[in-house]
Structure 1
Amino acid sequence: MLTLTLAALYLIKKKEVAAILGPGNSMQAPFIINLGNQSQVPIISFSATSPILDSLRSPYFIRAAHDDSAQVQSISAILKSFRWREAVPIYVENEFGEGILPYLVDAFQENNVRIKYRSAISLHSSNDQIENELLKLMTMPTRVLSCTCYLI
């Protein structure tokens, strides 16, 4: 990340960058948005979709994609169409993974889908910890899993 930062700063200062296309994902966004604010360079993102980014309120951040909250209605509609009444959200245990949960809960409630359990997996989980969580999920009667992932 340091190399990327130095390269971005060099380009902004020496090459008079007009705009930055990025970040590649929601987790990188706060840093890149801050860089855009400090350098007064617009950041145009096609892939930072977490609703948590709305709270950053930057005049230099332009999201060119729907945020993740727009997807929950579709997920909920699929569950409704198959008459599935229970689901387990699986998500990354951080502000980005957890940021979609309120929207997911609301959409599920509108379609009478109950969240039986929430499976939060840390970015720092070992393979054994992930395997244990998956084993726990396999023993549950709920068979509908809604996975929210972010690439790192």
Structure 2
Amino acid sequence: MVDFGADQAFARAVEKLREHDGIEVPIKACRDATLKHAALVSRQSRDAAPAPLVEPGVEVLISQSDGTMVPLVEIGAGRGNPRKRRKVFWKEAIRTLAYPKGSVTPVYAATLDGRDEAGFQMKQVAVEAGLGAQTKSSRHWGWRDLD
């Protein structure tokens, strides 16, 4: 169930589970199990000591991070019209990418959890894109840095 939930929309994951295993699972149960598993995996990867870069890696790696403010909506607890309990607030969404020079397929990550998380993701996408012990890196932190 978690495999299907991680790969596609939760409603589609429930359909696939019904097709493959012949069992009915509520969409919310699929969502909750997938998110719980993702949180556990994320916590474990953060707690692990970073592995040293021993492979040479790609020659040049280009990485970039940029943020923008996005509006978010929360519905407060209570009864009655949910529109009256609606709270709108803004949060920074940070997008990170990395790719070897000359590649047209970057590795992406995004977060609403702040700059520390964005920094953690920058390392993850860089390693996935080919960062190694001998890699030269070109970093850009937003479009203003590209001038």
Structure number with bigger Rg? 2
- Per the normalisation by structure 2, the TM-score is 0.28
- Per the normalisation by structure 1, the TM-score is 0.27
Q: Which is richer in strand?
A: 2
